[in-house]
Amino acid sequence: MRTTITKSGVYGPQMIASLKAVPTISLVTQNTAFLNESRGNIREEYQSSIEMIFPDGTPGFQENGGLSNYGGRYTNFRKKSFRVAFRSKFGATKLRYPIFDGFEYSHYPPAEDFDVINLRSGSHDMSSRGAYMSNRFTDDSMLDMGNIGPHGRFVHLYLNGNYWGQYHLRERWSADMASSYFGGSKDDYEAVNANDNFRNDEDVYDGSGQFWSETKHHLARPNPFTNAADHIDIANIVDFMLLWVSGNSESEFRAFGSEPRGIPFKFMIKDADGFLRSPGHSANHAGPYSVMSKMRTSGNPDYGTLLADRIHKHFFNNGALTPARNIERLKRRVDEARLGFISEAARWGNLFREPSSWESYQNNLINNHFPRPDKKHDPSFYVSRHVPRHHRAGLQQTRWFVAVGFPGDDGHRCQHHLLHN
């Protein structure tokens, strides 16, 4: 631990409170080969014990599992991301404990049993790319938008008794996660990982891949809004893209779906470490497998109606992506992590991870990154030539153009859509 923090006149007296600010995860294992910085991503799972301890005395859990690291090329960072899998060869086949109790969302209350859990390090989430907040922010945003997304919370991690930093404890997007929220067995689902502009390096990591192959076939046809409606959740992928173009994430996604249960594929932003930088994507991006460009050019009026509904739902009237809601969401997570971050800085800090620089960065995001609530009607946020109106009879339709600017836009990058209501 860095004595510049632990013996600081400002931070030293806060160290005990910092270490008690969030729950503790203790990992114990005899094999620590995955900590070798010279090796790449080590997928072997090593027998380990995992324990969750709450500072207020709330009963936690202890279970055995298989410990590995993950994160591609970033596994050569000293602070690793860890994954714990629960399998019969290690102990229980599932962790049965409400690890996300207190982090409920009305549409999808958190699951209480898990095949796998992830511990994201945030070590590659540099100060210029979100300062430990971006992935948590996008997960929360999708949940606030009424979609499924990984639940999470911040915890302190100890590895073989040594303090290892503050981590993002997170559900792993998988067939098991899908079955927890949509029913059935994990064997009913397929889960897909796709990198590099939404399509290369594709990997079906759960299931046979047959349903996904059928889905790609339908996406290749001219009108995916109609032809692929049973294979992809259209409203979900529209929401996914509205969020994605609002930030600066990698062009990567994960998706899961189930043919036997009639669950079309639902999407999540996979690599959101850079999301809270200035938006870097065109609002007319083609999307995964060019599905968005095909729906835009198909001329299907039902797609225009759906798009109008989703934009109106999320960007207006205190919707999930209005500036006030974005700021509230980010502040909630900053407040959760703030005191614990002192310990993180003591363990791993440098010039860009001092508590003071972290605080300044978060304050800048909160105060300047999102358009202010009192500017939501400024043309730099959106332009509407006709405000949608709701009619009780539901019979009147009006047509209007909307130019949507996303949070962080300067007003010069807008996508014009012909919408129907």
Give the C-alpha distances (Å, rounded to integers) separating 322 from 312, 372, 406: 10, 9, 10
Among residues 258, 115, 238, the alpha carbon closest in space to that of 182 is found at 258
Over pLDDT 70: what percentage of the chain?
80
**Which range among 27-36, 47-56, 94-103, 302-311 shows the weakest confidence by mean pLDDT?**
27-36
Residue with tokens 């003071």: 356
Region 143-162: mean pLDDT is: 97
Q: How far apart are CA 293 and CA 295, in angstroms?
A: 5
Same-domain check for residues 163 and 30: yes
Same-domain check for residues 222 and 95: no
Secondary structure in 3-state letters for 295-360: HHHCCCHHHHHHHHHHHHHHHCCCCCCCHHHHHHHHHHHHHHHHHHHHHHHHHHCCHHHCHHHHHH
Q: How far apart are CA 272 and CA 129, in angstroms?
A: 9
**DSSP 8-state code for residue 118:** E
Strand partners, 25: 52, 157
At residue 153 the predicted structure's pLDDT band, cuts being 50, 70 and 90, is very high
Q: What is the mean pLDDT of the chain?
A: 84
For residue 50, what pLDDT is reported? 98
Among residues 154, 135, 133, the alpha carbon closest in space to that of 331 is found at 133
Q: Is the pLDDT of residue 378 over 60?
A: no
Helices (H), 189-266: 196-199, 210-219, 224-227, 234-244
Same-domain check for residues 226 and 283: yes
Give the predicted TM-score (pTM) of the model: 0.86
For residue 182, what pLDDT is reported? 98
Residue pair 384/400 in contact (Cβ under 8 Å)? The answer is yes
Same-domain check for residues 330 and 194: no
Same-domain check for residues 311 and 381: yes
Same-domain check for residues 129 and 200: no
Torsion angle of alpha carbons 340, 343, 349, 355, nearest 10°? Answer: 50
Q: How far apart are CA 421 and CA 417, in angstroms?
A: 13
For residue 282, what pLDDT is reported? 67
* String of DSSP letters for 223-238: -HHHHTTTTB-HHHHH
Strand partners, 258: 263
pLDDT tens-digit readout, 24-34: 999 999 987 76
Q: Is the pLDDT of residue 346 over 80?
A: yes
Cα 132–chain centre separation = 12
Q: Is the pLDDT of residue 172 over 90?
A: yes
Same-domain check for residues 311 and 326: no
At residue 78 the predicted structure's pLDDT band, cuts being 50, 70 and 90, is confident
For residue 412, what pLDDT is reported? 29
Cα 6–chain centre separation = 32
**What's the farthest any 2 CA atoms get from each other in the chain?**
69
Identify the domain containing residue 266 by its residue range: 176-321+372-420
Region 198-224: mean pLDDT is: 87
- Cβ burial of 368 (10 Å; 0-12, 13-18, 19+) is exposed
For residue 254, what pLDDT is reported? 94
- Number of domains into which the chain is organized: 2
What six digits make up the tokens of 41? 């991503």
Q: Is the pLDDT of residue 138 over 50?
A: yes
Residue pair 84/117 in contact (Cβ under 8 Å)? The answer is yes
Q: How far apart are CA 244 and CA 274, in angstroms?
A: 11
Same-domain check for residues 120 and 218: no
Question: Coil, strand, or helix at residue 369?
Answer: helix
Residue pair 242/178 in contact (Cβ under 8 Å)? The answer is no
At residue 235 the predicted structure's pLDDT band, cuts being 50, 70 and 90, is very high
For residue 278, what pLDDT is reported? 79
For residue 26, what pLDDT is reported? 98
What lies within 8 Å, CB to CB, of 269 at 6+ separation is: 138, 142, 240, 243, 244, 249, 252, 253, 275
Question: Coil, strand, or helix at residue 261?
Answer: coil
pLDDT tens-digit readout, 270-328: 888 888 887 777 677 788 888 888 888 888 889 999 999 999 999 999 999 999 999 99
Q: How far apart are CA 139 and CA 170, in angstroms?
A: 10
pLDDT tens-digit readout, 252-264: 899 999 999 999 9
What six digits make up the tokens of 366? 């909160």
Same-domain check for residues 377 and 229: yes
Same-domain check for residues 114 and 255: no
Region 395-400: mean pLDDT is: 32
For residue 377, what pLDDT is reported? 39
Between residues 266 and 388, which one has the greater pLDDT? Answer: 266
For residue 204, what pLDDT is reported? 95
For residue 293, what pLDDT is reported? 85
Same-domain check for residues 215 and 121: no
Strand partners, 156: 24, 166
Q: How many CA atoms lie within 13 A of 352 on its CB side?
A: 10
Give the C-alpha distances (Å, rounded to integers) separating 375 from 243, 327, 388, 392: 19, 14, 19, 30
**DSSP 8-state code for residue 87:** -
Same-domain check for residues 287 and 342: no
At residue 76 the predicted structure's pLDDT band, cuts being 50, 70 and 90, is low
Over pLDDT 90: what percentage of the chain?
60
